[in-house]
C-alpha cells in the first residue's frame, strides 16, 4: 500500500507509539485520582502541555486539550457568541475554512450573529485588503485558517494578525494542517486563539489542541468535572495527550528535513504528471503551500473514479477533505477558487507525509496516468 492522504490523517510515529502505550497499560490511572497512579497521569498531561506550548511559542497555561481540532474550533466560536450574548456581533471568516469552522459559523448565524464569508483569490489566498474592508464596528472575531486542508495554501496570517492586533478584534487561526509541518509561533502570528490536532502530525487520533491568550472565557460544551483546569469536563485522554506532546516535538525536530523531502516529492509528482498529461492543473498557490500537499484537476475525468482506481492498486489519495469526501457536492474550497463544478469534481488531493519516500512517487505517477487514460478511453467509448 502507498498512503498519500496525510492531510486526512497520519500514521502514528513509531517512537511516539512507544511513549503512548504505557499510558494504556501500566500507567492507566485517571488523572483526577488522588493516589500516585493518578498523579503520574496528571504529571504526564502537564508534561505534554509544556511540550505543546514550547512547540508553538506559547506558555503551558494557554494550552487546553480537547478531543479533536473540530471540537477546539467549535468551542472557540461558541464561546465568542456566549461572551457577547445579547449583543449584536459580527464575525469574519473565509469561504474555504474547514467545516468545523464554517458549520459553527452557520450555527451562530441562527442565533443572530452576523458572519462575513470572505472570498479567496484564484490561488486560494485571502486578501488582507478584503479583511480590512470587511471589518465593521461590531466585528469581534476574525477566524482564518493557517493552511487549507484541500489545496495546502498558506494564508497571510501574520499580516492579518498585525492589522487586527491594533484593534479590539479577536483573531483565531485553525492551524490543524500547519502545526508540525511548517513553523508556527503564536507570537509571530499575533493570534489570540489557535487550534491544532495531533493526528495530523503523527500523533494519535482523539487529541485536539486549543491555544488561548485572550480575555474571552471558554464556555463549557460539556458539563461535568473540573478537568483541564475546570474548562473542559470529561476524563482526559492521557495516552493521546502524551502522544501529542512527543509527536509535536518530533515533528518540529524533523521539520526542515521532512519539508524539503516532501516538497521535492510533490514537485516531481506534478512535473511527471504534467509531462504526460499537459491539461492537468494545480489548484491553489504553488509557492505558499504546505510542503506535502497538492491538489490536481484532471480535465475530463472524475476525481472519484481516479481515487477508486488508485485504491484498487493500493494507493490512498482523496478527492477532497476526508470529512466531505463521499458527498456528491463539489468541494466548497475548489468552487471558491473559481473552478466549475466539473473541474472541482475532477480533482484529487495527494498529501505526502513523513513515511512516504521518493521511491513511491514513480508508482503513484504511473498509476495515476494509467487510470486517467483508462477513464478517458471509457468516456470516448461511451460517447460513440
Ligand atoms: C483545517 C482543518 N481544520 C480542522 C480539522 C478537524 O480536525 P479533527 O480531525 O481533529 O477534528 C481538520 C481535519 O481534517 C482540518 O484539516
Q: Can you list the domains of the chain with their CATH numbers?
A: 2-7+255-383 (3.90.1150.10), 14-250 (3.40.640.10)
3-class secondary structure, 35: coil
Q: What is the CA radius of gyration of the chain?
A: 21
Catalytic residue (one of 105, 316, 323, 369)? 323
Question: Which ligand 1 atom lies nearest to the CA of residue 197?
Answer: 10
**Ligand 1: centre distance to CA 69 (Å):** 5
The predicted pLDDT at position 328 comes to 75
Of all protein residues, the one whose alpha carbon is nearest to atom 12 of ligand 1 is 176
**Ligand 1: centre distance to CA 340 (Å):** 25
User: What string of pLDDT tens digits covers the 384 residues of the chain?
Assistant: 999 999 999 999 999 999 999 999 999 999 999 999 999 999 999 999 999 999 999 999 999 999 999 999 999 999 999 999 999 999 999 999 999 999 999 999 999 999 999 999 999 999 999 999 999 999 999 999 999 999 999 999 999 999 999 998 999 999 999 999 999 999 999 999 999 999 999 999 999 999 999 999 999 999 999 999 999 999 999 999 999 999 999 999 999 999 999 999 999 999 999 999 999 999 999 999 999 999 999 999 999 999 999 999 999 999 965 555 556 789 999 999 999 999 999 999 999 999 999 999 999 999 999 999 999 999 989 888
Of all protein residues, the one whose alpha carbon is nearest to atom 16 of ligand 1 is 149
Q: Which runs of E-coded beta strand occur in the chain?
A: 2-3, 63-66, 90-94, 114-118, 139-143, 170-174, 193-197, 208-212, 281-283, 293-297, 315-316, 347-351
Question: Which ligand 1 atom lies nearest to the CA of residue 100?
Answer: 4
The predicted pLDDT at position 325 comes to 52
Helix (H) / strand (E) containing 39: helix 36-55
Strand order in the sheet with 293-297: 281-283, 293-297, 347-351
Residues having CB within 6 Å of any atom of ligand 1: 68-70, 73, 98, 100, 145, 149, 174, 176-177, 197, 208, 321-322
Helix (H) / strand (E) containing 77: helix 69-83
Ligand 1 test: best mutation among 105, 146, 200, 201, most atoms within 8 Å of CB? Answer: 200
Question: Which ligand 1 atom lies nearest to the CA of residue 208?
Answer: 10
The predicted pLDDT at position 305 comes to 96
The predicted pLDDT at position 347 comes to 97
Question: 0.95 cut: is pTM over it?
Answer: yes
**Ligand 1: centre distance to CA 296 (Å):** 21
CA 328, distance to chain mean position in Å, is: 22
The predicted pLDDT at position 140 comes to 97
Ligand 1 test: best mutation among 177, 184, 247, most atoms within 8 Å of CB? Answer: 177
Active site residue 323: yes
CA 28, distance to chain mean position in Å, is: 30
Main-chain dihedrals φ then ψ at residue 297, nearest 5 degrees: -100, 135
Ligand 1 test: best mutation among 9, 72, 99, 176, most atoms within 8 Å of CB? Answer: 176
Amino acid at each position: 500500500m502507498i498512503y498519500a492522504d496525510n492531510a486526512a490523517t497520519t500514521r502514528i510515529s513509531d517512537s511516539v507509539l512507544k511513549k503512548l502505550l504505557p499510558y494504556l497499560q501500566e500507567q492507566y490511572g485517571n488523572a483526577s485520582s488522588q493516589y500516585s497512579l493518578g498523579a503520574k497521569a496528571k504529571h504526564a498531561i502537564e508534561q505534554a502541555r509544556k511540550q505543546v506550548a514550547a512547540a508553538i511559542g506559547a506558555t503551558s497555561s494557554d494550552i487546553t486539550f480537547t478531543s479533536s481540532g473540530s471540537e477546539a474550533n467549535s468551542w472557540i466560536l461558541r464561546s465568542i457568541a456566549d461572551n457577547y450574548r445579547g449583543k449584536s456581533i459580527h464575525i469574519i471568516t473565509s469561504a474555504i475554512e474547514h467545516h468545523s469552522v464554517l458549520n459553527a459559523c452557520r450555527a451562530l448565524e441562527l442565533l443572530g450573529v452576523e458572519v462575513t464569508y470572505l472570498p479567496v483569490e484564484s490561488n486560494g489566498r485571502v486578501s488582507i485588503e478584503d479583511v480590512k474592508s470587511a471589518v465593521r464596528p461590531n466585528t469581534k472575531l476574525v477566524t482564518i485558517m493557517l493552511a487549507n486542508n484541500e489545496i495546502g495554501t498558506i494564508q497571510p496570517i501574520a499580516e492579518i494578525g498585525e492589522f487586527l492586533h491594533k484593534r479590539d478584534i479577536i483573531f483565531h487561526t485553525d492551524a490543524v494542517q500547519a502545526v508540525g509541518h511548517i513553523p508556527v509561533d503564536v507570537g509571530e502570528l499575533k493570534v489570540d486563539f489557535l487550534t491544532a490536532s495531533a493526528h495530523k502530525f503523527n500523533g494519535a487520533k482523539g487529541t485536539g489542541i486549543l491555544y488561548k491568550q485572550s480575555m474571552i472565557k471558554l464556555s463549557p460544551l460539556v458539563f461535568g468535572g473540573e478537568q483541564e483546569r475546570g474548562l473542559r469536563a470529561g476524563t482526559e485522554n492521557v495516552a493521546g495527550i502524551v502522544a501529542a506532546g512527543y509527536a509535536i516535538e518530533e515533528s518540529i525536530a524533523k521539520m526542515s528535513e521532512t519539508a524539503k523531502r516532501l516538497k521535492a516529492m510533490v514537485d516531481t509528482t506534478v512535473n511527471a504528471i504534467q509531462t504526460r498529461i499537459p491539461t492537468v492543473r494545480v489548484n491553489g498557490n504553488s509557492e505558499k503551500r504546505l510542503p506535502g500537499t497538492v491538489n490536481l484537476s484532471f480535465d475530463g475525468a472524475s476525481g472519484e473514479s481516479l481515487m477508486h482506481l488508485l485504491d484498487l492498486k493500493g494507493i490512498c489519495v482523496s478527492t477532497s477533505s476526508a470529512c466531505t469526501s463521499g458527498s456528491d457536492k463539489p468541494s466548497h474550497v475548489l468552487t471558491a477558487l473559481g473552478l466549475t463544478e466539473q473541474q472541482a469534481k475532477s480533482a484529487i488531493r495527494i498529501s505526502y507525509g513523513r513515511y512516504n519516500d521518493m521511491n513511491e512517487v514513480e508508482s503513484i505517477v504511473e498509476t495515476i496516468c494509467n487510470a486517467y487514460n483508462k477513464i478517458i478511453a471509457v468516456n470516448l467509448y461511451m460517447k460513440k
